[in-house]
Amino acid sequence: MTVLVAVPEGREGPQALYAGAAEARLLDTDLVVLNMTLHALDVSGLPEDLKVTYLERSGPEDRDPAEAVLDEIADRPDVQRLVIGMRRRSPVGKALLGSVAQRLLLDSPVPVLAVKAAD
């Protein structure tokens, strides 16, 4: 069993990362960190005794982020939980732009823990 955390840009990224680490510890399992950002992640606050695998988002730069996460879940049958960060968006913003988090909530084949960024 593994917990996969998709770490996006913005304030919700670190929140998702640390919630994923807490979930992996709670379930006594490994953590897979999928870096969805365009820079290196600061993982200095993760527990040193937690087994962590770091992945960089692969594929073309214009690849849909939700598809990247769903493909990673499909490639890893041991993933039993997905942790994602969410940000507050207006109804108009959701309607016009869609939401990666919303797609993952609806399309993930495994249970999803959604973490809201602190205000």
pLDDT tens per residue across span 66-100: 998 999 999 999 999 999 988 776 666 555 445 88
Phi and psi at residue 48, in whole multiples of 5°?
A: -70, -25
Task: Name every residue whose Cβ is closer than 8 Å to that of residue 26 and which is 6 or more positions away in sequence.
Answer: none
pTM: 0.86
Which pLDDT does position 96 carry in this prediction? 46
Tell me what the mean pLDDT of segment 23-30 comes to.
Answer: 95
Using CA atoms, how far residue 116 sits from 29, 87, 112, 113, in Å, is 23, 6, 13, 10
CA distance 71 to 75: 6
Query: Under CATH, domain 2-116 is a member of which superfamily?
Result: HUPs (3.40.50.620)
DSSP state of 90: -
The mean pLDDT value for 9-18 works out to: 89
pLDDT at res. 99? 80
pLDDT, tens only, 42-66: 888 888 899 999 998 766 667 788 9
Question: What Å distances lie between residue 32 and 23, 24, 88, 94, 117, CA to CA?
Answer: 12, 9, 25, 28, 20
Task: Look at residue 45 in the predicted model and tell me its pLDDT.
Answer: 83
Higher pLDDT, residue 2 or 117: 2
pLDDT at 112 over 80: yes
CA distance 71 to 92: 29
Give Cβ neighbours of residue 18 (< 8 Å, ≥ 6 apart).
45, 46
